[in-house]
Chains A and B, each alone.
Chain A
Amino acid sequence: EAQVTQNPRYLITVTGKKLTVTCSQNMNHEYMSWYRQDPGLGLRQIYYSMNVEVTDKGDVPEGYKVSRKEKRNFPLILESPSPNQTSLYFCASSLSPGQGNTEAFFGQGTRLTVV
Chain B
Amino acid sequence: GDSVTQMEGPVTLSEEAFLTINCTYTATGYPSLFWYVQYPGEGLQLLLKATKADDKGSNKGFEATYRKETTSFHLEKGSVQVSDSAVYFCARGPNFGNEKLTFGTGTRLTIIP
Q: Give A residues with C-beta under 8 Å from B.
A: 4, 31, 33, 35, 37, 40-43, 45, 48, 50, 58, 90, 92, 97-98, 100, 102-104, 106-109
Contacts and interface: CB of A to CB of B under 8 A. Distances in A.
A103 B93 CA distance: 8
A108 B34 contact: no
Interface in B78-93: 89, 93
Interface of B: 32, 34, 36, 42-46, 49, 51, 89, 93-94, 99-101, 103-106
Given A58-B100, A106-B44, A43 B94 contact: no
Contact of A107 (B32, B43, B100): B43
16 contacts: A37-B106, A41-B105, A42-B89, A42-B106, A43-B89, A45-B100, A90-B44, A92-B101, A97-B93, A102-B94, A104-B36, A104-B101, A106-B36, A106-B44, A106-B45, A109-B43
